[in-house]
């Protein structure tokens, strides 16, 4: 009896040592993420000669915004930014639509071979992108789609992760509500839009956010597909910037990096609230 009590109390109140270890681990994780970001940010405000100095400068002095001006003027930054927006928007829209629709079909519609299709989709998750790059490149180049948006977007629009995530979400919905909607005369599309989707917002927001971040950061394929400002996204632009600067002028590159990260950071700040709201609503649902 007394042993039980001790064990359960031990579970609830950690020893100070365990708390310290826990916080130490958290601090390490935060540092791993925060230090590079901090370094990027301060470097972007340093003058060129202050970047490589010993001892290192932990605060830009004097601070300058020249790097930002250089970035925007030495490469066609607005064009790359526009391309990034277009590619991310197209890809996110395609992936979210395909993910939701395929997940819906694979979870709530009944048709022969449904589980087989799902297995194939899961198998696709296990094939690394890099393996398909060469054959995709050959195909797209043959179609004459290099330096076009469709050449960048279409090969990337396939979705397995979203199907998997949304299917599990749809399967977790109470079956009786789906049945009630069927009895209430809701057809497949109405069932999806009026009943299934409104109950799945938190997962959809999470999925959308992950998708947008991933597509914004997409590098390898756009880099292979485009080499000019007509279609290349910011990530490729940054590489060109780095090449332009001869590989040792980090100020403008860091400034470009900050500008590239900023839109995603803002998006995250907005959607994060949505996500947390959705998650807690799910947690307290009766």
Partner 1 sequence: MATVYFDEATRRFTQNDPPAVDAVTLDIADGEFLVLVGPSGCGKSTTLRMLAGLEPVDGGRILIDGHDQKGVRPRDRDVAMVFQSYALYPNMTAAENMAFALRNFGVSKADADARVAEAAKILELEPLLDRKPGAMSGGQRQRVAMGRAIVRNPKVFCMDEPLSNLDAKLRVSTRSQIAGLQRRLGITTCYVTHDQVEAMTMGHRVAVLKDGKLQQVDTPEALYDRPVNAFVASFIGSPAIYLAEAAVRDGHATVHGLDLPIPRETAARAGSTVTIGLRPEAWEVVPEHTAQSVAVHVDLVEVLGSESFVYGHPVAGDEKDRITVKLDERTKIALGDVVHVRPEVERTHFFHTESGESLRA
Write down the least CB distance from residue 207 to partner 1, Å.
18
- Among residues 261, 257, 266, 263, which one has the least CA distance to residue 44? 257
Write down the least CB distance from residue 194 to partner 1, Å.
7
Determine if 111 is a binding residue for partner 1 (CB under 8 A): no
- Residue 123 or residue 177: which is nearer to partner 1 going by CB? 177
User: Judged by CB under 8 A, which stretch of 41-49, 186-194, 205-213, 262-270 contacts partner 1?
Assistant: 186-194
- The terminus-to-terminus CA distance of the chain in angstroms comes to 34
Write down the least CB distance from residue 183 to partner 1, Å.
5
Figure out which of the listed residues 119, 179, 262, 270 binds partner 1, where binding follows CB under 8 A. 179
Cα separation, 122 vs 135, whole angstroms = 21
Q: Which tokens in the block code for residue 135?
A: 């054959």
Figure out which of the listed residues 133, 181, 210, 261 binds partner 1, where binding follows CB under 8 A. 181
Helix axis angle, 77-108 relative to 250-284, nearest 10°?
30
Binding-site size, partner 1 (CB under 8 A):
19
Determine if 100 is a binding residue for partner 1 (CB under 8 A): no
Tell which positions 187-226 bind partner 1, by CB under 8 A: 187, 190, 194-195, 198-199
User: Judged by CB under 8 A, which stretch of 24-32, 72-80, 134-142, 173-181 contacts partner 1?
Assistant: 173-181
Query: Residues near 245 by Cβ (< 8 Å), separated by ≥ 6?
Result: 74, 252, 253
Q: Which tokens in the block code for residue 183?
A: 């009895």
Q: Are 98 and 181 in contact (CB under 8 A)?
A: no
Determine if 174 is a binding residue for partner 1 (CB under 8 A): yes
Write down the least CB distance from residue 187 to partner 1, Å.
8
Dihedral, 101, 103, 109, 110 alpha carbons, nearest 10: 130
Figure out which of the listed residues 186, 210, 213, 261 binds partner 1, where binding follows CB under 8 A. 186
Handedness of CA 190, 196, 202, 204 (dihedral sign): negative
Interface residues with partner 1 (CB under 8 A)? 174, 176-177, 179-187, 190, 194-195, 198-199, 285-286
């Amino acid at each position: 009896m007394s042993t039980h009590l001790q064990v359960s109390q031990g579970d609830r109140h950690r020893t100070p040592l365990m708390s310290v270890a826990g916080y130490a681990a958290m601090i390490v994780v935060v540092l791993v993420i925060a230090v590079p970001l901090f370094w990027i940010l301060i470097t972007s405000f340093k003058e060129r000669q202050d970047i490589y100095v010993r001892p290192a400068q932990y605060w830009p002095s004097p601070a300058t915004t020249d790097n930002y001006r250089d970035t925007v003027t030495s490469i066609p930054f607005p064009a790359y930014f526009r391309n990034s927006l277009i590619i991310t928007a197209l890809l996110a829209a395609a992936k979210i639509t395909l993910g939701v629709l395929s997940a819906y079909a694979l979870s709530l519609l009944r048709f022969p071979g449904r589980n087989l299709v799902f297995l194939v989709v899961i198998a696709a998750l296990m094939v690394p992108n890099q393996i398909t790059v060469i054959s995709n490149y050959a195909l797209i180049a043959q179609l004459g789609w290099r330096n076009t948006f469709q050449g960048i977007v279409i090969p990337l629009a396939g979705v397995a992760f979203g199907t998997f995530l949304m299917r599990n979400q749809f399967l977790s919905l109470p079956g009786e509500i789906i049945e009630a909607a069927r009895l209430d005369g809701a057809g497949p599309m109405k069932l999806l839009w009026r009943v299934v989707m409104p109950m799945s917002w938190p997962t959809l927001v999470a999925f959308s956010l992950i998708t947008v971040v991933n597509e914004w950061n997409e590098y390898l394929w756009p880099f292979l597909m485009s080499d000019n400002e007509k279609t290349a996204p910011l990530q490729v632009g940054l590489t060109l910037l780095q090449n332009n600067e001869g590989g040792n002028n980090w100020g403008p590159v860091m400034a470009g990096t900050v500008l590239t990260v900023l839109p995603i950071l803002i998006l995250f700040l907005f959607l994060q609230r949505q996500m947390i709201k959705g998650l807690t609503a799910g947690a307290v649902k009766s």
